[in-house]
Each structure stands twice: as C-alpha cells, then as structure tokens.
Amino acid sequence: MELAITQPADFHVHLRQEALCELVTPHVLKGGFSTAYVMPNLKPPITSTRQALAYKATLEKIEPNVKFLMTLYLSPELTPDEIRKAKKAGIIGVKSYPRGVTTNSDGGIESYEAYYPVFEAMQDVDMVLNLHGEVPSDATNNIHILNAEPSFLPHLHKLHKTFPRLRIVLEHATTRAAVEAIKACGDTVACTITVHHLALTVDDWAGQSWNYCKPVAKYPDDRKALREVIKEGHPRFFLGSDSAPHPPHQKSNSTPSCGCAAGIYTSPILLPLTAHILESFDALDKLEGYVSTFGRAFYQQPADGSKIRLKQMVNGVSVPEDGYSLRDETVVPFWAGKRINWIISE
C-alpha cells in the first residue's frame, strides 16, 4: 500500500542552537516535513525580530530545503511596535510559556493582562498566539502535572473572549477537557496534538524517563479523546510534533540526583511514525488533514501542490536504538528499538 500526502507541515518543533541545531535541523526533512514552525525558547530566548531573523538565517544555512516559520517568545520586552515590525518581517506567531513549566521557560509569563496591548497589536496585524497551556504545580492548591492543563483552560477562554479575532493555538493538548474547550471556541482557536500523545498514557512514562515530556501524557480516557478528535477529522486539530531533542544524559536517570529533561524527540521519524500510530487506531484516512491540510489552512500556509509518498512495509523498519550523532551531540528518538510499518518512498 502507498499513500500520497500533500506536503506536511510540523506546526511545533524545537530546533535548538549550535551543534545540536546542526544535528536536528536536517531531521525535519528526513522525517518528511518541508515546513517547520519553530519554537523560540533558546538561551537567550528569541524576543525580537532581529533575533528571529538571525535564527532563521542560521536554520536555512543548515537546511535550505525546509521553510522555517518563525516565532517570538512572549516576554516583557515585547512591545506592540515590535509586533508590527515582526509581522512585516514575516514572523508568524508569539509563544507564551507559563513560568517554570518547561525547558527554558524560567522567563515565561505569569499574568496575561500585562500583555493585552501586545495581544491587541497581534490581533490587528493577524499574528498567531501559541499557548503552552499549563499552570505551574502548586501543592497547596492540589495543582500538579496531571491537572495543570485543565487548570489552564479558563485562561484560554478568557483570552479568546477578550480577543475574539486573535488566532490562538493551544499547543500539544493532552486532555479530553482541552479537546472540549477548543471545540467550544470559535474558528480563531485551534489546537496542536503531538503524535506521542496519541501513543502514550501516564503508565508509559512512569519509571521511563525517555517518555517524559511536558505536558505529560495523561489518562487512557484523555488519549481516547485525542484519538477521537483526529478520527473525526476536526479541522482545528492538527499536528505540532513538539519534537524536543535532549542529550541522552539529560534523558536518563543515572543517579537519584540526576533529573531528566522533559521532551520527546520525533523529528527524524515523524511522518512514518504518525502514519504508524494513526493506523493503530484506524485513523490512517485522516493522516493528510492531521499532518498537512488542517494546519496549513489555519496558518494560511498553502502547499505547493507536490506530494510526499509513504510505502507500507510488511515487517516494518527499526528505529535506531543508538539514535543519531554529529560530533559530540547525540539524540535518541522516540520509538527507538521498535518498528514502524511505513517508510517515505520518495
């Protein structure tokens, strides 16, 4: 069996810096994607048009055959003037990270009200607001990593109500509550779903730090809700891989004092893996909408008309357990050591 898919676009990817960036950026294309919506959580974060354009030039030098869509990191430095400047420079969106929730988000936001002038400008010029939709853990109020996303949803509703024309994307949704919240919003609000959240539940990252990411994979019923909305072919739910490379020593727990970075890396196997996972819950017929047309429509990024082809493999192909290396950098992908039933055939 073969599939022909309109050029896919990954609407949420982390491409990092320096040697790690050189290693992982070509993996976007290797994984079947020629459009990448690039997250701004670098060190220091991308908070200006100037930085974003410099980063884009770096990425294009590493991989000229991918279209990089750039974002800014929401921070107090960001002004309405900078938003207008960014729009003119072709920057697509602004990413908001709640403080301390994920990699390099220490400078993230605490209250949205302070950013209302920025959001007003974004709404005017039609830029996209990308939300990492989790509140920080707070044991006193019983907020923890499993209810951090549902606890964020009132903020989403308030933003949507205040800025009804602002295009908002709730990133990497993981819960039934989030799916229902997005459905209840108007057409300006969409949602990315990662492929790993279509595969995992809490049982899979318990005692397995390589499956640990933020937001964490939730309960089986939440995964069911994510799968259902993909099977439904709802056009406001599409792929953002949240592919997030970390060196192996940051993903393993060699000692009790050696914590683990949150993040699952899928870029180099993304399209075949997505076909494999969608097939596992009988949603292969929704692949094109999920990985390509729905996201492209929301982001107003039409495809060039060309297709990418996938071929089914009887016994599958193995994902390398040792991962991929360049100089001193190594990344080991999700699904390492397991088999995928699809390959990119052209």
Please report, as ranges, the residues that interact with a copy of itself according to CB under 8 A: 137, 139-140, 142-147, 201-203, 205-212, 216, 219-221, 223-224, 248, 251-257, 259-262, 321, 332, 334, 336-337
In this complex, which beta carbon is closest to a copy of itself, that of residue 111 or of residue 257? 257
The tokens describing 2, both together, are 């073969």
Smallest distance from the beta carbon of 222 to a copy of itself, in angstroms? 9
Smallest distance from the beta carbon of 273 to a copy of itself, in angstroms? 14
Residues 33, 10: Cα–Cα separation, whole Å:
7
In this complex, which beta carbon is closest to a copy of itself, that of residue 278 or of residue 331? 331
In this complex, which beta carbon is closest to a copy of itself, that of residue 76 or of residue 337? 337
Within a 13 Å sphere around the CA of 335, how many CA atoms are in the beta-carbon half? 25
In this complex, which beta carbon is closest to a copy of itself, that of residue 63 or of residue 242? 242
In this complex, which beta carbon is closest to a copy of itself, that of residue 56 or of residue 196? 196
Smallest distance from the beta carbon of 249 to a copy of itself, in angstroms? 9
CA-closest candidate to residue 201, choices 233, 165, 225, 177: 225
Cβ–Cβ contacts within 10 Å for residue 146, how many? Answer: 17
Asked whether 100 and 41 are in contact (CB, 8 A), the reply is no
DSSP 283-332: -GGGHHIIIIIHHHHHHT----S-EEEEEEEEEEEEPPTT-EEETTEEE-
Smallest distance from the beta carbon of 337 to a copy of itself, in angstroms? 4
The tokens describing 25, both together, are 């950026």
Smallest distance from the beta carbon of 100 to a copy of itself, in angstroms? 12
